[in-house]
Homo-oligomer: A and B are copies of this chain.
């Protein structure tokens, strides 16, 4: 920060321009920087620390369920990607391709992985022979590339970071269970760690993953009512296994194909956090993944004993929380604004009078409510304060999700809502992709989010074509 910059830069208000607000926040909270490579972002320390917290929590969950991490090459020979027809059709348009290596033209072009089903399958063919080799529950944390025309930090970038789980099972039933189990892991993570409610459901045929039999999704709603595909899990049946000739000797001595799943979440999640919880003062981070959970601001820090008290408090809290003291010579006002911008969940103010009273002030980043608490029970107060920030964030997001979800029983209602309201539309659907196309075209972008696990009977017929309805679908615009 420049020497003379003692005020936090203002950011565009959400109401004025949500897109600009987002851009301001990611830049000014120092989450990302742009790079000279089109569509690729630099994830700065504060942004990357969020990703590290996400990884730590999810990785522990994956391992608890028996998954193991591996690393596959990032290059896929073109012929390998082409082995499963639907898969290559889905990904070919957005591939980055290496054609030169070591100053020579390559005899076979290499695709920079957009996803790694094909590589996992090639490996699984080598290592799966018997039912004793199953299940295989593998995951990898890595970078992937999908060449995008329009990009925005975290939401849509040509390169992004993610995890991709790839599992192989003896039976269809086991693989289906895994597909739903991992969806639940994602949903729990969104709700319990990110304080973001999600709609859980199945993608329509049109929206499913290239090569999957079924795709499931968790869909959070951003503050402005736009959806973000938050994480997906796929059931593949034995389609890839057949394409890659992966077979095993089953318990009954028959030769069978194993059943497959894959599932992934990415750095997009950081976009979801920003757009679900942020406000006009900047970022608000859910405590579970905040790089700094508590910032201690010494008040009148030049006075004797103030800094010592602040350091002592930090040392006391550091055993349980991620804490920092800002003892810089910036003004307290500047510091307050700075850590609000950075979304630190709790602020502690401590000055001479507080020290005299053996107390300090806790300030919630969400409500900005101030509480005077004793230094004696400070761990419990901070614990409660963080829990309260989480709950406030979750409840606020849930309320937003409810307020911005409308039912449409007729085509006119649907079009009216699509034009005049933001958010999700719940409406009946006949099951054909022509209606999805028509809805998208006539609304300028409303798409099926999913067939939610919890459907409701809104009417008997498809909101679009009037034929008998098969499902209730949640519709919405998306990032």
Whether the pair B36, A122 counts as a contact (CB closer than 8 A) is yes
A71-B96 in contact given A37-B76, A102-B149, A133-B1 (Cβ < 8 Å): no
Shortest Cβ distance from residue A126 to the other chain B in the assembled complex, whole angstroms = 6
Whether the pair B97, A71 counts as a contact (CB closer than 8 A) is no
The listed residue (B3, B69, B123, B161) touching A42 by CB distance below 8 A is B123
Does A226 have its Cβ within 8 Å of any Cβ on chain B?
no
| Residue among A73, A76, A99, A148 facing the most chain B CB atoms (10 A cut-off) | A73
Whether the pair B130, A3 counts as a contact (CB closer than 8 A) is yes
Whether the pair B161, A77 counts as a contact (CB closer than 8 A) is no
A73-B37 in contact given A2-B129, A99-B99 (Cβ < 8 Å): yes
Residues of B within 8 A of A74 (CB): 40, 143, 145, 159
**Residue of chain B at shortest CB distance from A71:** B43
A100-B97 in contact given A3-B132, A33-B126, A69-B45 (Cβ < 8 Å): yes
- Number of A positions contacting B (CB below 8 A): 63
Whether the pair A138, B96 counts as a contact (CB closer than 8 A) is no
Does A127 have its Cβ within 8 Å of any Cβ on chain B?
yes
Give Cα A112–Cα B130 distance, bound, in whole angstroms. 39
User: How many protomers of this protein does the assembly include?
Assistant: 2
Q: Which of A126-158 contact B (CB under 8 A)?
A: 126-127, 129-130, 132-133, 138, 142-143, 145, 147-149, 158
Whether the pair A52, B69 counts as a contact (CB closer than 8 A) is yes
Whether the pair B94, A40 counts as a contact (CB closer than 8 A) is no
Shortest Cβ distance from residue A6 to the other chain B in the assembled complex, whole angstroms = 13
Give Cα A42–Cα B75 distance, bound, in whole angstroms. 11
Q: Which of A78-93 contact B (CB under 8 A)?
A: 80, 92-93
**Mask of A239-250 contacts with B, CB within 8 angstroms, 1/0:** 000000000010
Give Cα A83–Cα B32 distance, bound, in whole angstroms. 24
Does A103 have its Cβ within 8 Å of any Cβ on chain B?
yes
Give Cα A95–Cα B41 distance, bound, in whole angstroms. 21
Give Cα A413–Cα B147 distance, bound, in whole angstroms. 59
Q: Which of A42-75 contact B (CB under 8 A)?
A: 42-45, 48-49, 51-52, 68-75
**Mask of A326-362 contacts with B, CB within 8 angstroms, 1/0:** 0000000000000000000000000000000000000
Give Cα A123–Cα B123 distance, bound, in whole angstroms. 38
The listed residue (B3, B41, B102, B129) touching A147 by CB distance below 8 A is B102
Whether the pair B147, A73 counts as a contact (CB closer than 8 A) is no
Does A101 have its Cβ within 8 Å of any Cβ on chain B?
yes
**Residue of chain B at shortest CB distance from A291:** B68
Residues of B within 8 A of A49 (CB): 68-69
Residues of B within 8 A of A101 (CB): 95-97, 147, 158
The listed residue (B52, B75, B142, B148) touching A37 by CB distance below 8 A is B75
Give Cα A77–Cα B94 distance, bound, in whole angstroms. 19
Does A110 have its Cβ within 8 Å of any Cβ on chain B?
yes
Main secondary structure of the interface of A (DSSP, over half): mixed
A72-B35 in contact given A123-B42, A133-B1 (Cβ < 8 Å): yes
Does A11 have its Cβ within 8 Å of any Cβ on chain B?
no
Does A465 have its Cβ within 8 Å of any Cβ on chain B?
no
**Residue of chain B at shortest CB distance from A122:** B36
Residues of B within 8 A of A98 (CB): 96-99, 112
Residues of B within 8 A of A40 (CB): 73-75
Whether the pair B94, A70 counts as a contact (CB closer than 8 A) is no
**Residue of chain B at shortest CB distance from A30:** B127
Whether the pair A37, B96 counts as a contact (CB closer than 8 A) is no
Residues of B within 8 A of A415 (CB): none
Give Cα A269–Cα B42 distance, bound, in whole angstroms. 27
Whether the pair B102, A99 counts as a contact (CB closer than 8 A) is no
The listed residue (B70, B77, B94) touching A102 by CB distance below 8 A is B94
Whether the pair A1, B132 counts as a contact (CB closer than 8 A) is yes
Residues of B within 8 A of A51 (CB): 71
The listed residue (B1, B42, B97, B127) touching A72 by CB distance below 8 A is B42
Q: A2-B129, A49-B68 are in contact. List 10 more A-B contacts (CB 8 A).
A: A2-B130, A3-B249, A33-B123, A33-B126, A33-B127, A43-B70, A51-B71, A74-B145, A93-B103, A96-B101
- List 27 contacting pairs A-B, 8 Å CB cutoff, sorted by A: A3-B130, A35-B123, A36-B77, A36-B80, A37-B76, A41-B73, A42-B72, A42-B123, A43-B70, A44-B70, A45-B68, A48-B69, A74-B159, A92-B103, A93-B103, A94-B102, A95-B100, A95-B101, A97-B100, A97-B101, A98-B99, A98-B112, A99-B99, A99-B100, A100-B109, A101-B158, A102-B149
